Amino acid sequence: MKLWLLAISLFAGSTLYSQSNRLIAHRGGVVDERSPENSLPALQKAIEQHYWMVEIDLRITADSVLITQHDRNFKRYFGIDSLVTSMNWSSIQKLRSNAGTRVLKFEEVLQHCKDRIFVMIDNKIEGFDEKLFRKVLSLLDQNGLRESALMIGTDESTEFFRGKIKLSCTRKQLEEYQQRPDFNPAHYYLFSSQISKEDVEWAEKQGILVVGVLNHRNPNSTEAKEKMKLQAAELIRSGVRIFQLDSVFKEFVN
């Protein structure tokens, strides 16, 4: 079955809830000392380890190049205390992390994902830029990934992306959106670290996808692992079957 057809079948109605747990690799893949966030090695490991999706962080350079980068600056991995929005791609593409990895263009990541893994996009672009947002959709379309894609959006971009890509929401937001004449459950997904059994049952009746969150600022700390183990158990008891997580927490949902 083609990748996009598989995505549609998984998103359709109650079929989703009969699937085994599906994992979304947080911050660009399986992250470790050799595979920094949003790097090609991290993405490749997610593919090899059969993650369902990879979450990638989307930002824009000073000269309007779309890249995958979590932080607002390049200090943590590349030692450069400069904002992404203040640097041109010609300078950014020369950066190397201690692991030897580089910053990736959004289109390069999508090309690597095509026919291998689905994508969740964390849109970290500030403000509203219709031309830029149309480019995001165009690149997804070119790689056959828009039908299956999920997006963590911004307040400024919501109206543009509504109905064009599935957007993350809290239950409160979903209930508010239900009052809109254009409401369509296929346009959204429930996304939270705290999801009750009642939330899952409500979403299932509405035909809304449910994604639980298991990520932490310091995922390798003992405190984080203890907290996420408990959180994972609670989400599983609630009936959650799709998880966006740091790879170190994978053992808690398998």
What is d(CA 132, CA 48) in angstroms, rounded to the nearest whole number?
31
Please state the domain extents for the chain.
Answer: 33-167, 170-254
pLDDT for residue 15 is more than 60: no
Contact 239, 212 (CB under 8 A): no
CATH topology of domain 33-167: TIM Barrel (3.20.20)
pLDDT of residue 254: 85
Best CA proximity match to 124, nearest among 28, 220, 29, 210: 28
pLDDT 10s digits, 86-131: 999 999 999 999 999 999 999 999 999 999 999 999 999 999 999 9
Tell me the pLDDT tens digit for each residue of 18-41: 347 999 999 999 999 999 999 999
Please give the DSSP secondary-structure letter assigned to residue 61.
-
Instruction: Say how far apart CA 158 and CA 164 lie, in whole Å.
Output: 10
The answer to whether the beta carbons of residues 163 and 154 sit under 8 Å apart is no
Distances (CA, A) of 27 to 3, 49, 199, 204, 236: 22, 15, 26, 27, 22
Mean pLDDT of the chain: 93
pLDDT at 5: 42
Which band of pLDDT confidence, cut at 50, 70 and 90, is reported for residue 69? very high
Residue 6 has pLDDT above 60, yes or no: no
| pLDDT on residue 20 | 74
Q: How far apart are CA 163 and CA 245, in angstroms?
A: 26
Give residue 1's pLDDT. 40
Count H helices and E strands in the chain, helices first: 10, 12
pLDDT digit string (tens) for 143-153? Answer: 999 999 999 99
pLDDT at 8 exceeding the cut of 80: no
Sequence-separated (6 or more) residues with CB below 8 Å from residue 128 = 156, 157, 160
pLDDT > 80? residue 11: no
